[in-house]
Amino acid sequence: MKRVGYVVMKALQDATGCSIVDDCMNEPFWCARAIYYPKVLAEESGDCGERVKKYGCGEHSDYGFLTLLVEDSSEDCFEAQLQSGEWIRSNAVQLLEQNDQDECEFLCNLGDML
């Protein structure tokens, strides 16, 4: 995981011209958490298609620099809420469905520190 984080950080540094790797990666902090986001079944939805508040991990922002998520094409993958309140599924899931693949993809979520 440390190596993957370094590669992503190096790519960000090269793209932005900032010295992210030298300034921020000399004493890395990371943790791995396994979090299950349960599928919300149709019978659990509220009136007018409202989403039921059922979470595997409560509503949150990612406090770190980067969050790497492993995704597959299942229905219960990562979603994000836009400022408008609309929920969207990650592009990785949509691409997997379009290409009819069952392989896993990494989603890189930028955290609060970045």
Q: The pTM is what?
A: 0.52
Residue 34's contacts (CB-CB under 8 Å, 6 or more residues apart) are none
Per DSSP, the three-state class of 33 is coil
The full set of domain ranges for the chain reads: 1-32, 34-114
What pLDDT is recorded for position 105? 67
Between residues 9 and 94, which one has the greater pLDDT? Answer: 9
Return d(Cα 114, Cα 110) in angstroms, integer.
Answer: 6
What's at 14, amino acid-wise? D
Beta strands in the chain (DSSP E): 66-71, 79-81, 87-89, 105-110
What pLDDT is recorded for position 101? 56
What pLDDT is recorded for position 112? 82
DSSP letter for 23, please: H
Lookup: tokens for 72: 């597959």
Query: What is the mean pLDDT of the segment spanning 16-30?
Result: 71
Return d(Cα 10, Cα 4) in angstroms, integer.
Answer: 10
Q: How far is CA 35 from CA 51, 55, 62, 79, 114, in A?
A: 20, 10, 13, 13, 22
Return d(Cα 95, Cα 91) in angstroms, integer.
Answer: 6
What pLDDT is recorded for position 108? 78
Residue 57 pLDDT > 80 = no
Mean pLDDT, rounded, of the chain = 69
pLDDT tens for residues 74-105? 555 677 777 888 877 766 555 555 655 556 66
Query: What is the mean pLDDT of the segment spanning 35-51?
Result: 55
